[in-house]
Amino acid sequence: MRNEYQPLKDKVTLVTGAGGGIGQRIAYEFAQLGSLVYLCDISDTQELANEIFEQVGGVKPMSVICNLSKKQEIVEMMDRIRQENQGVDILVNNAAIKGPEGEHSFPEMSYEGFKLTIDIDLSAAVYLSLLSFPHMKEQQWGRILFTAAPLSSSGIPAPYLAGKAGFLGLSKHMASVGKDDNIKTLALALRHTQTPMIRRVIASKGIDVEEGLRKMNAKSLTGRMTTPEEIAKLYAYFAVAENPEITGVSLLSDGGITYLR
């Protein structure tokens, strides 16, 4: 059923990593709020676009296949969005890989594996932000959101952590640059979230997945991990907030397991 509350009507949202657990929920939430959502993923997300449209109605989401480690593919995707809808109003830098198998820790990781992870988890987000900024500046409105990771989270694979922790500083710097043009940023630092990726990380350590999930849930003050639906609603709240002070903020969402330093 279509939500009558549509504060993001006529806004274009680009969600990277849209095929993953968190990305899917972000896409659904922003479509429900009236935004035209581009679903960016290395795999085809047409089926997801159809499902969101069937549930939400309104403007049908657009599937776009893009390998974020390839600069030319990023350029082609952004050119397409500009041609079809002028530009990106809301950029959700959500895509990530944890790095090649067996190369998660320092110093066992290879430089090549580290660089590939950084290219997707950090560099692509920087490039997308650079390409999105001119349109946002022209419209005097923009939102750049980062799915980040806390600096104190030692359990996260090293290449992934290096990329995602970089968002904390980027969010603050971009907020400073965009403050006079109503371009706001948010870095949401996640540690334990109920996603397929976290199940894969547990399995990669040779731990029984269900037992690993039980222990992670037990660490949380709420008794369970954060859900993708909850993350998506936090992003949505920020996107529609009018308070000028809510920008350049790094928030921690992990159920009380850790803290930002």
How confident is the model over 29-59, as pLDDT tens digits?
999 999 999 999 999 999 999 999 999 998 9
Distances (CA, A) of 71 to 27, 92, 107, 198: 23, 18, 28, 28
For residue 205, name the pLDDT band (cuts at 50, 70, 90).
confident
Rounded Cα–Cα distance for residues 107 and 246 (Å):
38
Q: Which CATH architecture has domain 12-190+228-247?
A: 3-Layer(aba) Sandwich (3.40)
- The pTM of the full predicted model, rounded to 2 decimals, is 0.90
Three-state DSSP string of the chain: CCCCCCCCCCCEEEEECCCCHHHHHHHHHHHHCCCEEEEEECCCCHHHHHHHHHHHCCCCCEEEECCCCCHHHHHHHHHHHHHHHCCCCEEEECCCCCCCCCCCCCCCCCHHHHHHHHHHHHHHHHHHHHHHHHHHHHHCCEEEEEEECCCCCCCCCHHHHHHHHHHHHHHHHHHHHHHHHCEEEEEEEECCECCHHHHHHHHHCCCCHHHHHHHHHHHCCCCCCECHHHHHHHHHHHHHCCCCCCCCEEEEECCCCCCCC
Rounded Cα–Cα distance for residues 84 and 79 (Å):
9
How confident is the model at residue 206, as a pLDDT?
84
How confident is the model at residue 215, as a pLDDT?
84
Q: With CA atoms as reference, report the closest residue to 8 among 31, 34, 27.
A: 34
Six-digit token string for 75 = 């350029």
227: left (phi over 0), alpha (psi -120 to 50) or beta: beta
Rounded Cα–Cα distance for residues 124 and 74 (Å):
8
pLDDT digits (tens, 9 = 90+) for 6-26: 999 999 999 999 999 999 999
Task: Tell me what the mean pLDDT of segment 70-96 comes to.
Answer: 97
For residue 99, name the pLDDT band (cuts at 50, 70, 90).
confident
How confident is the model at residue 52, as a pLDDT?
97
**Residue 170, pLDDT above cutoff 90:** yes
**Residue 197, pLDDT above cutoff 80:** no
Task: Tell me what the mean pLDDT of segment 170-181 comes to.
Answer: 95
Higher-confidence position of 172 and 151: 172
List, in sequence order, every residue forming a beta bridge with 12; answer none if it has no partner.
Answer: 36
User: Could you state, in order of their start, the residue ranges of all structural domains in the chain?
Assistant: 12-190+228-247, 192-225
Is the Cβ–Cβ distance between 12 and 86 less than 8 Å? yes
- Residue identified by tokens 């997801």 is 48
Higher-confidence position of 157 and 114: 114
